[in-house]
Structure 1
Amino acid sequence: MTDAAAPARVRTRIALPLFGAGLVALVLSLSVAVSVGAVTVPLATVWGVIAERTLPGLHLADWPRGHAAIVWEVRLPRALLAAMVGAGLALVGASLQSVTRNPLADPHLLGISAGGAFGAILALLHTGLFLGLMTVPLMAFAGALGATLLVLAVTSFARATSADRLVLAGVAVSFVVMSCANVLIFLGDPRATHTVVFWMLGGLGLAQWDQLLYPAALLAACGAWLMAHAGRLNAMTVGDEMASTLGIPVARFRLSVFVVGAALTGCMVAFSGIIGFVGLMVPHIVRLVLGGDYARVLPGAALVGAIFLVWADILARTAMAPEDIPIGIVTGLIGGAFFVWLLRRR
């Protein structure tokens, strides 16, 4: 008993220092993300602009006005959005892998991203920006939630409350919704399809300060809910029967996690487009280091997901500067290579 518990005690001991190092790494990553690009801004200027904007009068503005605009209006909101999207997708992936007991589960599993794509395509090619700049994010969010409700309706109709049947229902809905989205592209204006393609491959170039409140608030609320149920997520990884003997209403809790995951993914997809592999890859990395306890996996996944997507965005912006590579291409290349390595490790 003592020997079996030893690795868990070791991981618990090293978790706090690792989280501290991760927070430092995240701050440094955000600093680099704001600094590099087509125009390089010194790190001292980056922090000077942030200090001057957050505490006016505290710092003497001795940098070019153009640098201040680049830091505050363009790169900082983009870097913060990358961190929030990475954290949100990683949290959803980790929680779905628990309740489905499927190591390949990720936020796209239930057709959530397909629903977001449908809503965004509808706005970009057919309805127009009738709500201003918020039209595409709101329509994408509505599409993601609509796809989730459709999955829940299918599971209710088919009485598919088990983990494997919920996954199959999500896959079926994803195919149907993406087919409808492709019909919208086929019927839309060919001159606008390049915008749709870029959004479907993921991008953070539309980040604005007045929009960051929505993903930040939902990330905090959903992350807190998932953390509060870390014990139940641990039990769900063992199996439905074991979770039931512990007094967990298995079917209801699994659906609750699906709804929370859908809301969080829908919000992130609404502001970033479709970004794959983050929710699939990051939880596995965290478990290799911190073990399977969801009290450590969830905050670890959020932290590693944030750092990973910040650096993926840096690569997307600098690899072919001044052109932006869709960030979904970068995460797909890295994620594919990671899973080849994971298969090698068995």
Structure 2
Amino acid sequence: MRILRSKALGFLLLLFVIIVSGCKPEGNDETGPSSEKVTASPQPSKTALSDEIGALGRPIVLGFSQLGSESDWRLANTKSIQDAATEAGMTLMMDNAEQSQEKQFEAIRSFIRNKVDVIAFAPVIQSGWEPILKEAKQAGIPVILSDRAVDVKDSSLYVTFIGSDFYDEGVKAGKYLLDKMRDHPGVVRIVELAGTVGSSPSIDRGQGFRDTIKSREDLTIVRSEPADFTKEKGKEIMKSFLEQEKEPPHVLFSHNDDMALGAIEAIEEAGLKPGKDIVIISVDGTRQAFEMMVEGKINCVIECNPLLGPMIMQAAKEIIQGRTLPKRIAPPESVFTEEMAAKEVDNRKY
């Protein structure tokens, strides 16, 4: 009897240990993942995955329409979304619109037919979205705007916009120019490489820049043309500026780094020194632009953070969980000058 009692007691103790161990919550120790943030591992734990799927009882399906692959910034943005979806344990349906709004319409309608849980997209241009957003709303699918805003009368057609403040980026560029050229004698002649016609970054960056420098009558934009955010077009348009103007401009304001990199090639081919003969201000913050700053060929870069993936996945999760999101979510961003570039270049992730 004593042996039987001893065995029974041992079994009960073992059962107690198993139960206690099994009930221990994941992530409560100092080294475990927090349940409040997106899982960092490619294969989420069961606890983290259950947080992500919420009330659905399965992984969230996100349909994402990317506007294209026109720049290093866009490639980094796409990779951030893909990586974040994997880390969050979500199913991602991604479509590249190749700079076509019509293709984005087709992609969004495809997402609706496939009954995804959330739709997100980076709009090619600002206008023309109301009808397709109404289709998504009628299908009961919430929409997240990524990177670029849309011009719609009914803001209830989308849940939130996650992306940079493009107007403020233009303001930052203008403020840098005011300081950089504060002691420059005479008229300061500025040329501008704008982005895609009708896109919100091109519209807002240009307006923010103009509103900031208008207090100085000596700062004059003598040329402004769209270069579609591409290096090739940036070089082509900058070459035409240099050929058509009687004298080189003092300043180039480029709406993104790729166009600035193309312009640098055109400036050097014209026998001029970028960053010296022509002050160059750009927007994005790519590694290549920082390397150009280290070489003294770009003077200032206004950061536009492409790593929006984790924020989009977090927003999708909270939408499915029924939480209310702010209408506007902006990532952290900075201004970098050539004096800071050497210390920061190795920190660039794209």
TM-score between both structures, scaled by the size of structure 1:
0.30
Structure index of larger Rg: 2
- Higher helix fraction: Structure 1 or Structure 2? 1
- Higher strand fraction: Structure 1 or Structure 2? 2
Where relative contact order (Cα < 8 A, 6+ residues apart) is larger, the structure is: 1
TM-score between both structures, scaled by the size of structure 2:
0.30
